[in-house]
Amino acid sequence: MQEDLKILVVELDQAKARDIIDALKDGGWNDVTVISSEGALERTLKQQDPDIILIDLANPSRDTLEHLSLVSNARKRPVAMFVDQSDEGMTEAAITAGLSAYVVNGLQKDRIKPVLETAIARFKLNAKMQSELDAAKQALLDRKTIDRAKGLLMRARKISEEEAYGLMRKTAMDQGRKVTDVATALVTAAELLQ
């Protein structure tokens, strides 16, 4: 586990904040900043850009949960939230908000390190899956563009699909571009000529 992580802790209670700092230092994490106000979160994030955020709240409302998730940019970094009480709706809202960990029954010192390690691992897994999904979507869009460009060439030049693709591939190689870029340029030009 990385020991050089910058960790931001949102904890209103000073005694609990000291316990959290101790637990994080025991876990090998020394770059810890504690803020005692949810309102300071956005400003502190801009100043410090932490690697992970740990939030401890007694009983957050759905609005508070969504606001903290949005402000902390839970899609950009792992966010672990400890709460004293929750219900099914709040758990669903936490998952929807993108929190990497949502721990009910409060924060206990001996649970901090394993929860943060799990939050980091889950965040990395989700980020990898999102990246793969984005790549698959882009590949599908590229394929559609290439197919459309092949169709344009086939009609304009009265050639086969294979010849149209070969022509685009040769053009791409000659110009040092990707076939997708050539296809996009062809489709764009055809749209301009209509």
The domain that contains 177 carries what CATH number? 1.10.10.10
Based on the fold, state whether residues 30 and 91 are members of the same structural domain: yes
Based on the fold, state whether residues 99 and 18 are members of the same structural domain: yes
C-alpha neighbours within 13 Å on the C-beta side of residue 36: 7
Based on the fold, state whether residues 144 and 63 are members of the same structural domain: no
CA distances from 40 to 9, 59, 68, 106, 143 (A): 11, 19, 11, 22, 46
Six-digit token pair at 50? 């932490």
Number of domains in the chain: 2
Convert 80-93 to b/e letters by CB count within 10 Å (16 or more is b): bbbbeebeeebeeb
Residue 124 lies in a domain: no
Residue 121 lies in a domain: no
pLDDT tens string, the chain, 194 residues long: the values are: 556 889 999 888 888 899 899 989 988 899 999 988 777 777 888 888 899 988 887 767 677 777 777 777 777 889 888 888 777 778 888 878 788 888 888 778 888 889 999 999 999 998 899 999 999 999 999 999 999 999 999 999 999 999 999 999 999 999 999 999 999 999 999 999 88
Based on the fold, state whether residues 98 and 161 are members of the same structural domain: no
Query: What is the C-alpha to C-alpha distance for residues 190 and 84, in angstroms, rounded to an integer?
Result: 61
Based on the fold, state whether residues 146 and 186 are members of the same structural domain: yes
Spell out the alpha helix ranges (H) of the chain.
Answer: 14-26, 41-48, 62-72, 88-96, 112-157, 161-175, 179-193
Residue 29 lies in a domain: yes
Based on the fold, state whether residues 101 and 141 are members of the same structural domain: no
Residue 148 lies in a domain: yes
- Domain around 91: 6-107
